[in-house]
């Protein structure tokens, strides 16, 4: 029987276009290893949803962010609030590692930092 197990969702939102880039770099200076990863994504609807748009910015309306498609409207702010799992436009990850010998064994110390921008 359909609907007895799991979650089902069907919707017909407007047409969307996503543009962006990813950049990853790794460098090594002797025992020091550096990592950089960054990315930008801009996903926006280019056509309205078939049901039309309200006067507030809503999911599926031309120009609104496609990542808001799973969001719920917030009447007080006149915009949709982010739903869990919606992706931020900017992401950055940095890492640094120092390798050394500890007695007879190989060892290392590593630090990582991650950033995600707000919508």
Query: What's the pLDDT tens digit per position in 17-69?
Result: 888 999 999 999 999 999 999 999 888 777 766 555 554 444 555 555 665 44
pTM of the model: 0.58
CA distance between the termini of the chain: 39
Q: Are 19 and 42 in contact (CB under 8 A)?
A: yes
Mean pLDDT of the region 85-89 = 69
Query: What's the pLDDT tens digit per position in 7-20?
Result: 766 565 667 788 89
Cross-sheet strand order for the sheet of 90-102: 16-29, 32-45, 90-102, 105-116
Selection from 46-50, 53-57, 74-78, 95-99 with the highest mean pLDDT: 95-99
| Strands 32-45 and 72-74, bridge-based pairing | unpaired
φ and ψ of 68, to 5 deg? -90, 5
């Amino acid at each position: 029987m359909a609907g007895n197990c799991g979650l089902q969702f069907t919707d017909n939102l407007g047409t969307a276009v996503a543009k962006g880039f990813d950049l990853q770099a790794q460098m090594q200076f002797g025992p020091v290893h550096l990592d950089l990863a960054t990315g930008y994504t801009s996903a926006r609807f280019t056509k309205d949803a078939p049901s039309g748009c309200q006067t507030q910015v809503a999911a599926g309306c031309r120009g609104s962010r496609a990542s808001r498609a799973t969001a719920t409207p917030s009447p007080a702010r006149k915009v949709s609030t982010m739903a869990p799992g919606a992706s931020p436009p900017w992401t950055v990850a940095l890492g640094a590692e120092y390798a050394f010998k500890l007695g007879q064994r190989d060892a290392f110390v590593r630090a990582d930092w991650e950033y995600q921008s707000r919508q």
